[in-house]
Amino acid sequence: MPKYVIEREVPGVGNMSAEQLKGISQTSCGVLTNLGPQIQWVHSYVTGDKIYCVYNAPNEEMVREHARQGGFPANSVSEVKAIIDPVTAEEPVLK
C-alpha cells in the first residue's frame, strides 16, 4: 500500500497542551474508523506551526477525504517513493 507524508499548517500547534493534541488525535481516529481499514495513520511529528503525518492509504484522494471529514488542513500530500536511512549507505546497490 502506498505511504504518504501530509503537511498540515496549524499555527501554534507546537504550543498546544497534551489534552488538545489528544483531542486532535481522537478526531483523526474517529474519521479513520468511518473510512475503514484501507487507510492507516502511522504517526505524526508536531513542530511549531505544522504537523507532518505519515499515512498508509490506497491513494491521495483517501488521504484528502480524511482531512475533509476531520476538518484538518492538508496543505501538501506527497507519496513516499523510497525510505532511506543510515543502513542504506551500507547496502549493495541492486541492478
Classify the C-alpha dihedral 12-14-20-21 as positive or negative.
positive
Rounded CA-CA distance 88/2 in Å is: 20
Task: Please report, rounded to a whole number, the percentage of residues in the chain having pLDDT higher than 90.
Answer: 92
Backbone φ/ψ region at 36: left (φ over 0), alpha (ψ -120 to 50), beta: left
Residue 75 has pLDDT above 90, yes or no: yes
Go through the domains of the chain in sequence order and give each one's CATH number. Answer: 3-89 (3.30.70.3090)
Q: What is the mean pLDDT of residues 32-43?
A: 97
pLDDT of residue 91: 74
Q: What pLDDT digit, counting tens, does each position of 39-71 carry?
A: 999 999 999 999 999 999 999 999 999 999 999
Nearest to 44 by CA among 61, 24, 30: 24
What cell does 69 get? 471529514
For residue 81, give every residue at least 6 positions away whose Cβ sits within 8 Å of its Cβ, in sequence order, or none: none
Residues in the chain: 95
Q: What is the pLDDT of residue 2?
A: 98
- DSSP letter at 15 equals G
